[in-house]
Amino acid sequence: MRRGSSRLLAAVGLWMAVSRNQYGEHSFFLYFLFIFAGMKFYPTYSFVAVLLVMFSFIPVKSAEGERLSAPARRMAKAGFVNVREKDPTIFVSLMYSRKDNFTGTVLYTELREAYLHPKAMAALKKAQKRLKQLRPDLSLKVYDAARPMSIQQKMWDKVKNTSKNIYVSNPAHGGGMHNYGMAVDITLCNLRGDTIPMGTKIDYMGAAAHIDKEQQLVARHRISRQALANRRLLRSVMRYAGWRPLRTEWWHFNMCSRATARKYYKVIP
């Protein structure tokens, strides 16, 4: 073999090694094919490449994996998917990881990532794509997604003896679609992540959050015409992707009925 060819092959072997298995596990033999072909003239160079190849096949926990909270790892293990990983253009800000929610407390002490059932995630991506077609200057922003039933119980305990109990699903009755990873609490925002007017904050428990009499809300100056238009845009793109709005909460969308969820999907403990 010519010296020039050997140099090239040795260089390619080293480059592939430091690429950390970019070409898949079954390309292992290719690394050595390139490397040993160049060892005649560059034994030291190729030996370093061999070591790099060996290290490239040692399992290493990714930086992203190390950052995941324990609840997130459990959801991932159960088959739920990370919203931001599947579509980085969708904003996520879990409201139950802060105190500015209807409970006034932090319910997600560790969870910061939004997870969904794969079917629901596919529909959310479709809704985001539709929104970008209609309004490239806007994005979806998720405030809650898959929710453990243990958290649902804490929410229910806050409202069970009040008039607000109509806004929270009772765990004793199977909970809600969040507990199956088949629901989202969601709004619209600009490309900086700043939300646009929707008439009320997410998690507002009152008539102004209902979607069945919005024209009356506008007439009574409870919400603005712009807020109504924004709500309709949100419903349009979500319905386009197969999501179903909830009458009492403009921000809440289900992927299926409770009966379907109980029959085909597993609840999150």
Q: How far apart are CA 102 and CA 143, in angstroms?
A: 13
Whether the pLDDT of residue 33 is over 60: the answer is: no
- Per residue in 146-193, pLDDT (tens digit) is 999 999 999 999 999 898 988 999 998 889 999 999 999 999 999 999
For position 209, what pLDDT does the model report? 98
Least confident range from 31-35, 122-126, 187-191, 259-263: namely: 31-35
- Per residue in 88-97, pLDDT (tens digit) is 999 999 999 9
- With bands split at pLDDT 50, 70 and 90, how would you rate the model's confidence at 68? confident
Q: What is the rounded average pLDDT of the residues 126-132?
A: 99
- Per residue in 202-237, pLDDT (tens digit) is 999 999 999 999 999 999 999 999 999 999 999 999
Topology annotation, domain 63-264: Muramoyl-pentapeptide Carboxypeptidase; domain 2 (3.30.1380)
- With bands split at pLDDT 50, 70 and 90, how would you rate the model's confidence at 66? low
- With bands split at pLDDT 50, 70 and 90, how would you rate the model's confidence at 247? very high
Whether the pLDDT of residue 87 is over 50: the answer is: yes
Residue 181: closest CA among 99, 267, 240: 267
User: Number of helices and strands (H, E) in the chain?
Assistant: 11, 7
Q: How far apart are CA 167 and CA 161, in angstroms?
A: 12
Tell me how far apart the 2 most distant CA atoms of the chain are, in Å.
Answer: 87
DSSP character at residue 201: -
CATH 3.30.1380.10-classified regions of the chain: 63-264
Mean per-residue pLDDT over the chain, rounded: 84
Q: How far apart are CA 194 and CA 138, in angstroms?
A: 10
For position 7, what pLDDT does the model report? 58
Residue 29 burial by CB count (10 A; 0-12/13-18/19+): exposed, middle or buried?
Answer: exposed
Q: What is the rounded average pLDDT of the residues 5-23?
A: 48
Q: What is the rounded average pLDDT of the residues 243-259?
A: 97
For position 146, what pLDDT does the model report? 98
Whether the pLDDT of residue 43 is over 80: the answer is: no
For position 30, what pLDDT does the model report? 44
pTM for this predicted structure: 0.75
